Structure 1
Amino acid sequence: MIDPIGTVPVFLAVTSQYSQTIRRRIAIKASAVAALVLVFFVVVGEVLLSAMAIPLPAFQVAGGIVLFLFAMTMIFGEGKIEQERKMCEQSTEAAIFPLAIPSIASPGAILAAVMMTENSLYNVTEQFQTLLVILAVLLIAMIFMLLAGRIQTIIGKSGANLISRVMGIILGSVAVANVLEGIKIYFAI
């Protein structure tokens, strides 16, 4: 759900007017903010949903629908990269918006963080392992942002657009699976 490669063009667009030192700070800050958001949802996401009387299967179905709509825009629309570039034109704090949220800590990543740490399915050790994987992927995203200039010369704009559309197809499949699983769990209860 976290797309380190898809974040690179957004990072380049957001930071094009900054020096290398400021770019480095923005990459680190965006990664740290995304980590805080995802850790928050790992720790209290399920509790928050329970407090609001939202069953996890309902959250899974709603998240799946949102993810599916987002995936369709990645496939048929302008794509994630172009949409987030437009967002960054209106942003004054590039590290937080659109980099940390929604580029890195996307709605899909938040949903995955909650679903993959469900207390009734996963013990504390498994939840901790999931958290470590999330942090490792965030580290990879930060490294990609730090190497963004080099990556851009390798994949180019067309390559980034192609990757975004392929990721949209995969995300659409994940979204449908989430909806079907949520419906199955809801009616099994």
Structure 2
Amino acid sequence: MEDWFKQFIILWSVIDPIGTVPVFLAVTAGLGSPSLSRKLALKAVLISAIVLLFFVIAGEYLLNEMGIPLEAFQIAGGLVLFLFALTMIFGESKPDEEMGIVQKGMHGAVFPLAIPSIASPGAMMAAVLLTDNNRFSVMHQFVTTMVMLSVLFVTFILMLLATRIQKVIGVAGASVISRVMGLILAAVAVNSILTGIQQYFDLHTAVSVSSPAMGL
């Protein structure tokens, strides 16, 4: 039970259902139709689920085949997440790139809503790390996958309620939330980068120390 709760906390943090609400409000601001907004939310969650399930099933295999250590993936994911956070903090209420996508309607479900808001680099990384074949059994990986899907379901529910939230907080409130979440996201990204760097050097230091000993 404790492991399930820990997994839920980790996946909740990296997927960040609450932080997705301002992004969803920005993407759906020009749609004008509640039904289209619901379809966009469903599409975004389904795309995110497919992407994250892909990393659960094949992420570790692909990284191993390409010779990419998990630490490098973690650092790269943190950098991408940090750049996205900067656009939330210093950009306009809708960055110019996102404005072009919003004007295209349902395409906003893919970017920036599904990727990188819901299926963020951190979420992809967590999907790989929490289903490591060398550390976790098939049953454990199945439970982790179910926990991940439950967080995605909560994200979908919050997006359905986003219109009501918007009526309460208004455009200015959504902008404030977006920037605050951007700041939190930046901190998470920096922590991801620092952790990846630390783990990388710890691993290589351990290897370099053990190599002479093996020679002896």
8 Å CA contact 1:61–1:182 kept in 2: the answer is yes
Instruction: Determine the structure 1 residue equivalent to 2:122.
Output: 108
Deviation at 1:25, TM superposition (A): 2.4
Q: For 2:25 and 2:198, how far apart are their aligned partners in 1? A: 42
Query: Against the structure 1 CA distance between its residues 91 and 54, is the aligned structure 2 distance closer, same or farther, given a 3 Å change threshold?
Result: farther
8 Å CA contact 2:74–2:122 kept in 1: the answer is no
Instruction: Determine the structure 1 residue equivalent to 2:63.
Output: 49
8 Å CA contact 1:88–1:97 kept in 2: the answer is no
Length, aligned pairs only: 187
8 Å CA contact 1:42–1:113 kept in 2: the answer is yes
Structure ranking higher on relative contact order (CA contacts 8 Å, 6+ apart): 1
Instruction: Determine the structure 2 residue equivalent to 1:3.
Output: 16
TM norm structure 2:
0.72
Instruction: Determine the structure 1 residue equivalent to 2:191.
Output: 177
Instruction: Determine the structure 2 residue equivalent to 1:93.
Output: 107
Segment of structure 1 superposing worse, 44-53 or 14-23: 14-23
Q: Name the % identity.
A: 56
Query: Against the structure 1 CA distance between its residues 85 and 115, is the aligned structure 2 distance closer, same or farther, given a 3 Å change threshold?
Result: farther
**CA root-mean-square deviation:** 2.6
Deviation at 1:2, TM superposition (A): 2.2
Q: For 1:108 and 1:155, how far apart are their aligned partners in 2? A: 28
Q: Unpaired segments of 5 or more residues in structure 1?
A: none
Which one-letter code corresponds to 2:166 in the other structure?
Q
Instruction: Determine the structure 1 residue equivalent to 2:94.
Output: 82
Deviation at 1:60, TM superposition (A): 1.4
Query: Against the structure 1 CA distance between its residues 188 and 134, is the aligned structure 2 distance closer, same or farther, given a 3 Å change threshold?
Result: same
Q: For 1:153 and 1:55, how far apart are their aligned partners in 2? A: 46
Q: For 2:105 and 2:38, how far apart are their aligned partners in 1? A: 18
TM norm structure 1:
0.80
Q: C-alpha offsets along residues 125-184 of structure 1, whole Å, 9 cap, x if unaligned? A: 443333223212211121122222211112222322222223233323322332232223
Deviation at 1:86, TM superposition (A): 4.4
Larger Rg: 2
8 Å CA contact 1:3–1:104 kept in 2: the answer is yes
